[in-house]
Amino acid sequence: MSQAPAQAHPERHECVISIGSNIDPDYHFAQVIEILETECDLLARTQPIRTTPVGFQAQPDFLNSAVLVATSLERPDFKAYLKEVEDRLGRVRGPIKSGPRTMDLDIVAWDGKVVDDGYHQHDYVREPVDDLLAQTGREVLDS
């Protein structure tokens, strides 16, 4: 019985991730970039911008940015991975969905298609993502 040839390069997906933090954000940004550089193929990133909170207002300003990574994981598995990274960085999911957080990682685009309505609804997502796209010469389409 013959074996199927091993795949030399498993399918890779490009993912645009929105990053946000307002609890010791400089520290947590440095940590998440180190994790993504070590555990993923980090292709590009934007400089963080300071933004005011949306929704729950009684909290510090946020730092927001975007990164482009390549991964061989499928989207559900990569989303679970990002939640695990948030947990490693001390993310506590409390009763206020828009409350303070050490780290928030959201998939905005997957393989060139927008998969998060936050891109259209929030400047703090769209501006860093558009900067990243311009920086890398990429475009995203609505899915």
pLDDT in tens, 114-134: 999 999 999 999 999 999 999
Q: What are phi and psi of 41, to 5 degrees?
A: -100, 90
Kind and range of the H or E run holding 133? helix 123-136
Cross-strand bridge partners of residue 16? 68, 109
pLDDT in tens, 87-101: 999 888 877 777 788
Which of 32-36, 52-56, 61-65, 100-104 is the least confident region? 52-56
d(CA 142, CA 140): 7
pTM above 0.75, yes or no: yes
Give the chain's domains with CATH numbers.
13-142 (3.30.70.560)
Structure tokens, 1 = 């019985």
Buried b vs exposed e over 20-51: b needs ≥16 C-beta within 10 Å? Answer: bbbbebeebbebbbebbeeebebebbbebbeb
Angle, helix 25-39 to helix 75-88, in steps of 10 degrees:
140
pLDDT of 142: 85
Buried b vs exposed e over 61-74: b needs ≥16 C-beta within 10 Å? Answer: ebbbbbbbbebeee
Residue whose tokens read 């009684």 = 58
Residue whose tokens read 């940004």 = 29
Which of 60-64, 70-74, 90-94 is the least confident region? 90-94
